[in-house]
Chain A
Amino acid sequence: MTDLSTRNTIARKTAIVGIGATEFSKDSGRSELQLAVEATLAAISDAGLKPGDIDGMVTYSADTNPDIDIARAAGIGELTFFSRVHYGGGACCGTILQAVLAVATGVATNVVCYRAFNERSGNRFGAGVQNRPPVPSAENAQFAWYAPFGLLTPAQWVAMFTRRYMHQYGASGDDLGRVAVAGRDFASTNPKAWFYNKPITLEDHQNSRYIAEPLRLLDCCQESDGGQAVVVTTLDRARDLPNRPAIIAGVAQGAGEKQDMMTSYYRDNIAHLPEMALVARQIWEMSEVGVKDLSCAILYDAFTPFVLMQLEDFGFCPRGQAKDYVKDGNIGRGAKTPINTHGGQLGEAYIHGMNGIAEGVRQIRGTSPNQLDKVENVLVSSGTGVPTSAMVLTQD
């Protein structure tokens, strides 16, 4: 096991001071680069900074928008730190970790983390790897075990874990559906959400068609167009800026044993998320915050079953009991620790988790569309079933 005992040098030293996004849609009508620049400028402005104050940029390796193009377009000027994080949505809080490391060590002063795409109107993310060219690299060869057999898309890869999870723990389609219903309920009162004013019932979920059985349409998040950016700086600087800082109390990445990109099917037990459990161990230790101290959690909800597994791997409930935890009303509106108060990626938009980071910041600031009382600590997680990341945001 990884020794975590000397990891506290970056805890509570940095904060998110700016958030900015485009609208979330199904057809933005403009380039991905424009979305990225719009989100970046909005986040810088929200932070009370000017483009020239930014000297670091981080995004996902999956993003098509080079940091230098955004820097040129936005008038950011010189960059002393630029980095990208791999593994799709697993990169989400990993971009924050990069920014934290940069500003805490003085490598950069103010860092923008961003993600922007047209993943509905452009290259649809849910289509998977059906056209991936077979250049003989290790990265492509991993799909040799799936694509020729017809296992081609994220939903299909996730469904394999889901079937086993349901078999081992007796979870049902209704148990998955309750996650979707709770997310869509919060989205229904979030004006920025694609599914604003469009709640669903458990019957709607059960009546939705199978995509990759046992996953139904309403177990799968949206494909969205949009951009989201955030600004990270040191806590000292953050206290001189206009917004209430969202302090980064703990942030970590994790790749588990026997880790594959999205098909870690060869572990003894595939009905949980060891990479997320590794991230959880680190952020709880680093932040000295636990589940009992959380006001809410933003759990990556590309697919409903991985929300159940995250509840177990973060320690909200024992393994195999997330179905009962959810059935007992512990994730929705009015719960002690509600999940995905913006409506999640099922309800607001699928911006690979960056919009979830923004919601975590809004809850700390007191500006969420579904604002909770007396918010102290918020957990934010990243892509599931892939090498991943998470963080704990806290009040100053």
Chain B
Amino acid sequence: MSLATSSHKPKRPRPAITQDIEFFFTGAKEHKLLIQKCSKCSLLRHPPLPCCPECNSFSWETIESKGLGTVYSFVVNHYPQVPAFDYPLVVGLIELDEGTRIVSQIVDCEPGEVFVGMALEVKFLECDDELTLPVFAPRK
């Protein structure tokens, strides 16, 4: 029953993907959490931008994050309840060990167990044929 219901679940909202951010979602499909890195001064930046704010270089590459981080802040969403998601829905602002922050879903734990500073690790959620997202679970 629950499987059938979930297969009929509406798809999650689609990201609007520009040339500047496409690598992130392509990487997620390959189960890689990628961070943009300036090719000139090595500054890491997220969310990605076409130009480095430090040195103004337009050259960039990506590094693969180790996928480890801690909770910097988090929200437990109750309303409105959008059919694509299950509630209560925990969304965190996660500080990666590499230094950048990323917003993502926190999974595999109860909302009441989440706290600022909690250690997390990435896993990949294949939402549908088009969309795979990096999400975070308590670090084992």
Contact = CB atoms under 8 A, between A and B. Distances in A.
Co-assembled chains A and B: yes
Interface of A: 126-138, 140-153, 156, 159-161, 163-164, 167, 209-213, 263, 265-266, 270
A147 B104 CA distance: 10
A223 B10 CA distance: 27
B47 A142 contact: yes
Contacts of A153: 80
Contact of B16 (A141, A149, A161, A265): A141
Given A130-B82, A142-B47, A163-B75, A148 B131 contact: yes
Nearest to B106: A149
A153 B25 CA distance: 22
| B interface residue count range (under 10 / 10 to 19 / 20 to 34 / 35 or more) | 35 or more
A226 to B, nearest CB: 22
Contact of B78 (A130, A147, A160, A213): A213
Contacts of A140: 16
Given A137-B18, A150-B77, A160-B75, A130 B103 contact: no
A147 B77 CA distance: 13
A160 B131 CA distance: 24
B65 interface: no
B56 to A, nearest CB: 16
B63 interface: no
B140 interface: no
Given A212-B77, A266-B46, A150 B16 contact: no
B91 A151 contact: yes
Most buried by B among A144, A147, A161: A144
A265 B102 CA distance: 9
B72 A164 contact: yes
19 contacts: A134-B17, A143-B16, A144-B25, A145-B103, A150-B12, A150-B91, A151-B75, A152-B82, A153-B80, A156-B91, A160-B91, A164-B93, A164-B116, A210-B78, A212-B78, A213-B76, A213-B111, A265-B101, A266-B100
Interface string B3-33: 0000000001111111011000100000000
A148 B15 contact: yes
B62 interface: no
Interface string B57-85: 00000000000000011111111101011
A263 B17 contact: no
Nearest to B88: A213
Nearest to B117: A167
A159 B93 CA distance: 11
B76 A210 contact: yes
A128 B82 CA distance: 11
B82 A150 contact: yes
A143 B73 contact: no
Contact of B75 (A143, A148, A159): A159
A258 to B, nearest CB: 8
A212 B80 CA distance: 9
B133 to A, nearest CB: 6
B127 interface: yes
B89 interface: yes
Given A211-B79, A213-B78, A149 B73 contact: no
Contacts of B14: 134, 147-148
A151 B21 CA distance: 18
A148 B127 contact: yes
A189 to B, nearest CB: 30
A144 B15 contact: yes
A151 B20 contact: no
A265 B94 CA distance: 10
9 closest Cβ pairs, A-B complex:
A144-B15, A140-B16, A213-B76, A134-B16, A164-B73, A147-B13, A159-B75, A134-B14, A163-B73
B91 A149 contact: yes
A152 B76 CA distance: 12
Given A134-B14, A152-B13, A270-B73, 15 more contacts: A130-B13, A130-B82, A131-B13, A134-B13, A134-B17, A141-B18, A144-B25, A148-B131, A149-B133, A156-B75, A160-B91, A164-B72, A213-B78, A266-B47, A266-B100
A126 B77 CA distance: 13
